[in-house]
Amino acid sequence: MISLNVIVTGTHASLWLCTKHDDNMISLNVFVTGTHASLWLCTKHDDNMISLNVFVTGTHASLWLCTKHDDNMISLNVFVTGTDKC
């Protein structure tokens, strides 16, 4: 259950990279498009309920980092966007 998909289109290249392994529930997704690059990175392992998400887009970078472990109820969330960081 592993898949890899890449697409490029238009005068501004768009890249879509998707890798999945359903046995371990691991996925990696990357997307880049337009003159301002957009990056989406998602890694998941459902057995341990761990996820990592990163998103960057536009002239002002946006970062989203999420790590979860539901057995121990641990979560880490980080979001940065715009000229003022949060």
pLDDT tens by residue, 31-72: 444 333 333 334 444 443 334 444 444 333 333 333 444 444
Instruction: Say what the alpha-carbon torsion angle 36, 15, 75, 62 is, to the nearest 10 degrees.
Output: 0
The angle subtended at Cα 68 by Cα 17 and Cα 81, nearest 5°, is 65
Per cent of the chain over pLDDT 90 is: 0
Predicted model pTM:
0.17
Residue 72, C-beta contacts closer than 8 angstroms, at least 6 positions apart? none
What's the confidence (pLDDT) of residue 28? Answer: 39
Q: What is the mean pLDDT of the chain?
A: 39
What's the confidence (pLDDT) of residue 33? Answer: 43
CA 73, chain centre distance (Å): 22
Diameter over CA atoms, the chain: 47
What's the confidence (pLDDT) of residue 50? Answer: 39
- Per DSSP, the chain holds a count of helices (H) and strands (E) of 0, 7
d(CA 86, CA 79): 6
Which residue blocks in the chain are alpha helix, DSSP H? none
